[in-house]
Structure 1
Amino acid sequence: MLVPRLAGLKLAGLALAALGLLAATGTQAQVYIPPPDDLVEPQPPLPPAIDPGVPAPAPPPPSAPATMTVDEAKAEARSTGSSVRGAYQGITDAPGAAGQIPGYQANYPGLTQYYDNPGNMYADGAAAGYNSDAYRTANSTTRPTVDVTRADLSRANTVTDDPNAYLQGVSTDGSTGNCVPLPPSPGTTNTAEWTCNVGSSVVEQPKTCTRSLTVAAWNETLYQYLCVTAPGFPGCAALEGNALCRKTGTFPVPDYNLTVDYYDCDAAISDPNVYLMGTVAKPPPPDAFQVVSNVYRCNNEGITDALTFDPVTGLPVQYVSGLQQCGTIASEATCTHTTAIAAGLTDRQLCKTWDFVGDPFGGGGYLYCLEPAAPEEVYSCSTNVAGIVPESSVSKWFTQVWTDNACSVDLGTCTLASETCTAPNETRLVDGVPVTRACWETTKTWQCQTVVGGGNDCGKLDATPGCTFDHETCLDDPPSGDGSCKVAERVYKCPIPASTTQPAQYICGNDVYCINGDCEPIVREASDEFKDAVVALNALGQANSEFDESTLTLFKGTAESCAHKVFGLANCCSGKGVPLLVPLLCSPSEVLLDQKDDAGLCHKIGTYCSSSFLGICLSKRDVYCCFQSKISRILQEQGRPQIGKTWGTPKKPVCDGFTIFEFQQLDLSVMDFSEIYAEFVDAAKLPDEAATLIEIQAKIEAYYAAHKP
């Protein structure tokens, strides 16, 4: 079976890493890690653990002589306590110490059944935990716990180094002595990095320009010429080589030893040896457009023949016939209602009923319009309307050219933001023909960037109580050769909103025990073995879970970044403990990075300028290495300096994990894990210190009572 063998090799490698870890920490505890069970090749049983047993107790102290003083008795008690403590101090280093552990088994564990069925571990573990009093006690939400913080460790070590400095002034009668303030507590992190910028900034200013459409009728003429060429007679010299002329044909006449050539010219050519055959309309260019304008005149009175009259005098003017009815011309999409004058026609008024004034037999009198007809309708159409004859028809070609009006725009510093039509769908009369275009004029809006010096948005941080300047970084990329900086980032340390500073605490001289009116200060000997053991075990567990088989590395991180506009509100890099102000403007990866940073999983490598204009930084990116756990980040932060491994640069971050060889070189004993110590022991139930002191004092009193002279 290949899988168990590979699993054995992997666990063996981790065991070697574990031994390297224990050697680096300098601990004296002997930890035995059994090899994995191979289901194919049975392993011999482990040798039984030898229980060294509890060392024989020290002989009881002799009875105090009648002449022994109180000071002599105290000295003898201290000596006895030191000897007993020394006898038990090395019990964990003795061979076979594992036999003293409750529930220890001297054979291979029965967990080998899960090698092929690892899914059963969850169900079996849940059942075992439900039936275990210890499990229910450890996971009870009502159990008393002690939150061991980083401050407890640092101050305990300080007091341990010089306990007399904090126990001076104790009164011999047991009354309260002087209280000495404890060293400042680092506590949990309640400050974060805030950034601002100083230097030159780029200001965007809008600028508008217009451009107009010029439409002109295409009226160019093509001139067609004929010329003759013969020996000694260059009759086509004026046309040949002329840029305005093109040869279209050649007709040789061998009987007369001459050649007749034909040319088309864009302009008239004046030369006695060429002959103008005629002119034709020049074909329009490819981008020209044709406008067909048909003018129709009609009426809705049913009149086909009528007299027109003068509307002022009412006298007849002209007899017209062939009048047409409007019908459905008003519904034609290509037709526009207009007037006769606007369409270039003569305005006229039709009469329906006439009256004769005067004596028709006496040779005098005249006609007078008694009932005028409704005014005629006039339509201008760009197509032919079936069934109606146009009164006038024009078909012309037109060219159009867009012209930018006078406007000073530097295309190197300005970007076109928008273009809007300010004269849409108008019909204009061009060369007597109504021309309709979708747009005759547009307005362009440009965003022009200008460099302005003296930018500074650090005023708010300077005025915020508790904020202190930390360092400054130049964002110029590439940096200037003279050492100057156009845009710099300043970093401030500021309190995290809603966080509070821990109050000062004291240790007082009444931390004593008294017997018969004589008091002694309690001498405490601090030990950090528990912290070292917890950190070492957790580091091994993380090494197992974060081992990358493809690269054979431990605690590998990922490079992540977020954007921040210089001198702007768009900021997706809020920093540890500070919420994003504009999360909707940030990408999902940037929001996730902020959550990881707040959880203490990321290490900031630095900042670089991601976009610039004329050498002025416009936006920057903060680059991080993020890990799977806090202990991975701490091991990376404090382990890399030990072996000289760098983080790279912000543009090229190095978030690689440790190789097995590199990890074995790390000295965990000099690392500070107090940031996560409280998380390791959060579930540990510690004994009541006050009850323990009372018990110790009672035993001391009983001892002296039994040995009174």
Structure 2
Amino acid sequence: MTGRTLANLLAVFVALTSAASIHAQTRDEARADGKDFATELRGEARDAATTNPDAARVPNFDPQATRDLQDLARDPDQIEARARSVATTSTPMRTIRDSMANRARFEPNEIEDVIARSRAINETPLDYTSGMAISGSQGSCVPLPPGSGTAGTYTATCNTGTRIDQSLGQCTVPLVATVNQQPQYHYLCNRFGDFNGSGEPECAGFDGYSCRVTGRRDTCLQWSSSGGRPWCSEPGDPITELTCDDQVPGQTPYMVTAATTVTTIPDESQCTGLADNSDCTLDADICTDADPQTRVIDGVSVTRPCWEWQRSYTCIEREAATDCSDIESQGTCRFVREECLTDEAPCETWERIYECPLPGTDNSTQYVCDGDVYCIDGSCETIERAANDEFKDAVTALHAMDEARGQFDPETLTLFRGTRNTCSSKVFGVLNCCKGKGFPLIPGISLLVALGCSREEVLLHERDAQGLCAYVGTYCSDKFLGVCLTKKKVYCCFESKLSRILQEQGRRQLPKSWDKPKEEQCEGFTLDEFARLDLSQMDFSEVYAEFTEAARLPDELETSILIQQKIEDYYARSGQ
């Protein structure tokens, strides 16, 4: 039936209904109207039977969709490719992926704990309903076997890889002075030899020997005595004086003397081991003995600006190391991942990240009370008297909205903005100022500061221990030869524990991961991001665990009073 025919039927029905409300129609009139209507329908049916099919006449018909199906039929390999392309923007597919990413996950040991607990009750049920009267009167309460719940976890980290041990080395370099007496041979020579009758050998005969010119003597070929005083009327070639360190063979010195020589040499024998070690670097070379500068050595005065130096070296030693034994020996921490602290390839230093339960948590005992079990003719039923879970959820949600109003930043239009905090620790070092939540606080800030931690790091330690900080990550702040020496942990700290939980779990919902540890600035949620959060899917047990006891009390009114009192105490402690 076409759309037009259906519309005509509806129109006729409305017209008949309206006409009947105005005046009654006779039988003949009704028969005539029916005949006319049938005639019209028969004509439309005849036209439809004799007219060639036309896709345009089919309601909601899409020719392009038909061609797409034909293309897929000819090339089935396109089906998978188009499916992958559509999956990136498909709302149903995104819903499925988000559901898989956010679904609840349980560790096998938790399931085994629950099963073991149930079996313990099943094996000795009377131990938990003893003293029960047929009348169902109030009796004693028997504790249930301990459960497997915890009050929270913390992130613990340790290091593995290569450790560089730095050591300082020092050595002394004294200046050793030696005084020697060496004979000196003095000769006379003439550059022309005995040509002019001087009687001296030729100077060329001294070439190749350790001789040096130390003077000259004038010679005269003819003297004149006219005028009273003799004077040289015909000068000759001057005679050269030579001083030689060794005796020249075949020549006779006219004089032999002794020369004093002083030799000073630094004695580096004490520094040989450090200087020859390629892993040692010279840091300083300081004069430590310069007074007096002139000293008498073997009767000879010797002057030098410095007589002794002290050299300082820094040496390194590589070795494999790990400090994860303490965490791994606990047996309660779950390994999460391993990250390289440096950008070197291959990586020399790794940080191992674990998730550990908070220590010292005392889960309140749960009870089954005789007054909650009623037996008739041997058939017993247990009356559950647990406190209303919706109450604490409602309180938490209302408090979240109240904090949203108080933590709105009108300048950036964001909610729940945090503050960036960092703390440093030596890789494989003893002092660690970044332990935070999960580790006991050392009483007294001054003690930690005296040990080497800054006041900001101590305050971060306290805030993290109170559950106000979210761990972002770690980066290497100081490295040497590709090995990380000092690392920095980055945290985002918030005004309350609830704000931290909203940030951690809200980022997983959006999703909106933390930025790189070196760049994270703890930005808040935009109004659009906060509007997309589903608070009902968040786990606030860490907060309202401080409101309520885990025990199931028989009296609901008493439970409500205790819950209200704990809420007031919680806000009084946190100053909210």
Structure number with greater CO (CA < 8 Å, separation at least 6) is 1
Q: Which has the higher helix share?
A: 2
